[in-house]
Amino acid sequence: MDCSLLLLLLISLLLTLSSSFVSSSTYVEEQKRDRITELPGQPSNVDFRQYSGYVTVNEERGRALFYWLVESPTTRDPKSRPLVLWLNGGPGCSSVAYGGAEEVGPFRVGSDGKTLHPKLYAWNKLANLLFLESPAGVGFSYTNSSSDLYTTGDQRTAEDSYRFLVNWFERFPQYKHRDFYIVGESYAGHFVPQLSKLVHERNKGFKNPAINLKGFMVGNAVTDDYHDYIGTFEYWWNHGLISDSTYHQLKTACYSVSSQHPSLQCMEALRSAELEQGNIDPYSIFTKPCNNTVQLKSFLKGRYPWMSRAYDPCTERYSNVYFNRVEVQKALHANVTRLSYPWKSCSDIVGNYWTDSPVSMLPIYRELIAAGLKIWVFSGDTDAVVPITATRYSIDALKLATITNWYPWYDHGKVGGWSQVYKGLTLVTVTGAGHEVPLHRPRQAFIIFRAFLENKPMPMS
């Protein structure tokens, strides 16, 4: 072989090895930087790894999203477990605050705002959990362009979340090609299918895609404005929360308008409904509102402008205290840019100035059902914000063939709720659960999550 050709081959090999070494060294260092040594107040017997930090999604605008990764315990072999991305809604609410600290994460924040307590039915026992604060302006996620906070909407949120995933998988290549699911609740009923659609579309042409999306699941999810309105107003009336006249007023004024940007007439009807409902917790109508706090509901703009975005103001207070502690932020590698505002469970600016919001997710459902993705929808039946009736009307509009008709599912001999299996979608209800199903019924939510991952129907006995 010609000496010059041999030399060129050797140089090419060295460059390839060098590039591979640099790449490997880079992500190893990034993971080491993001590794959480210990969260202040956490229990002493934590046997799983945690990571958190920032992923830049738009360098020009200076947008970076904050994540918290909670792996499965070492005794449950995290390398064999799927990865699940959890998203909360609002729009403008923190997945760290709700999904992480209240619902499916490994810890709940104590009433002192300092201690963390283990959850018996934490979902990381079944999967590695990735909580994302999205969009920029929510929680610790930030933008260096203040105008971004006033112009955020569904499309940008989906694009930034996708960019986050692409960059995050480069930082954590051990999760590439592993089974991946997207799960969320409330207005994440928009975020989850929209992001799933993006991932699915951009995976086309790849036999073994890095982001190996297998399906998604949503709870008490905003799905379709028209059917959500019909089902919500019917739920209020059937549960005696509003008068006949207000029910008629709502049906007349709201059915044909956007839920995110309702008309003046619809807003007036919603205001009448708020006054008639009184000081209840609409997110869990049979739960006593928290004492020693401001009135639970406030006239805010958001997914439902007449209701507060948070489930339990007391629980929210605990998180607000904990995540604003300097030592907690240091442990989380958070607030590195020293934000000009405190961490909040929900961003009023992001929620109040939300821009684009498609009226229906049903076209995306049809597309992803046809693509063969696994799709589950669950609903707590004491939620008056996105009630079970709204979800059933939306699913009925898909006109899917039924595989297994409506039946009660059981937990230790007691009815946990009801389920119906359609061709391409499974619906599960949870009796006695409010808007945040894993908060109200943690064991039942855990059973649903396990059945979803294993692709098994809910237990019939």
Q: Which domains does the chain have, with CATH numbers?
A: 26-224+309-461 (3.40.50.1820), 225-308 (no CATH)
User: Of 400, 371, 331, 405, whose CA–CA distance to 140 is shortest?
Assistant: 331
In this predicted model, what pLDDT tens digit does every residue of 343-377 receive, in sequence order? 999 998 999 999 999 999 999 999 999 999 999 99
Whether residue 308 contacts residue 90, with contact meaning beta carbons closer than 8 Å, is answered with no
* pLDDT at residue 17 greater than cutoff 60: no
CA atoms within a 13 Å half-sphere pointing along the CA-CB vector of 365: 26
Tokens 């996105």 belong to residue: 386
pLDDT at 4: 66
As a dihedral over the C-alpha atoms of residue 449, residue 218, residue 69, residue 320, rounded to 10 degrees, the angle is -110
* pLDDT at residue 5 greater than cutoff 70: no
Give dist(CA 386, CA 434) in Å, integer: 10
Amino acid at 323: F
DSSP 158-216: HHHHHHHHHHHHHH-GGGTTSEEEEEEETTHHHHHHHHHHHHHHHHTT-SS-SSEEEEE
* pLDDT at residue 210 greater than cutoff 90: yes
Between the alpha carbon of residue 319 and those of residues 95, 156, 339, the distances in Å are 12, 27, 18
- Catalytic residue flag (residue 160): no
* pLDDT at residue 411 greater than cutoff 50: yes
Average pLDDT for residues 301-315, to the nearest whole number? 44
- Catalytic residue flag (residue 435): yes
Residue 320's pLDDT band (boundaries 50, 70, 90)?
Answer: very high
Between the alpha carbon of residue 442 and those of residues 71, 73, 405, 445, the distances in Å are 19, 19, 25, 5
In DSSP terms, 63 is beta-bridged to: 58, 143
- Catalytic residue flag (residue 2): no
SS3 content of the chain, % helix, strand, coil (to 5): 40, 20, 40
pLDDT at 308: 37
Whether residue 451 contacts residue 301, with contact meaning beta carbons closer than 8 Å, is answered with no
Q: Higher pLDDT residue, 280 or 343?
A: 343
State the helix-helix crossing angle for 188-203 and 154-171, rounded to 10 degrees: 60
The residue from 34, 225, 228, 383 that is catalytic is 383
DSSP structure class, residue 298: -
In this predicted model, what pLDDT tens digit does every residue of 85-105 receive, in sequence order? 999 999 999 999 999 999 999
Counts of helices then strands in the chain (DSSP H, E)? 13, 13
| H/E element, 422 | strand 414-422
* pLDDT at residue 258 greater than cutoff 90: no
CB-based burial label for 332 (10 Å; 0-12, 13-18, 19+): buried
Q: What's the residue count for the chain?
A: 461
In this predicted model, what pLDDT tens digit does every residue of 232-257 receive, in sequence order? 999 999 999 999 999 999 999 998 76
In DSSP terms, 68 is beta-bridged to: 52, 131
Whether residue 390 contacts residue 223, with contact meaning beta carbons closer than 8 Å, is answered with yes
Give dist(CA 300, CA 50) in Å, integer: 35
What is the pLDDT of the chain when averaged over all its residues? Answer: 90
- pTM here is 0.90
pLDDT at 306: 33
| Contact partners, residue 17, CB within 8 Å, separation at least 6 | none
pLDDT at 262: 79
CB neighbourhood size of 24 (10 A): 11
* pLDDT at residue 311 greater than cutoff 70: no
Average pLDDT for residues 200-207, to the nearest whole number? 93
Whether residue 306 contacts residue 299, with contact meaning beta carbons closer than 8 Å, is answered with yes
* pLDDT at residue 20 greater than cutoff 60: no
* pLDDT at residue 47 greater than cutoff 80: yes
Share of the chain above pLDDT 70, in %: 88
Whether residue 370 contacts residue 422, with contact meaning beta carbons closer than 8 Å, is answered with no
Average pLDDT for residues 388-414, to the nearest whole number? 97
Residue 132's pLDDT band (boundaries 50, 70, 90)?
Answer: very high
The residue from 72, 95, 186, 284 that is catalytic is 186
pLDDT at 296: 35
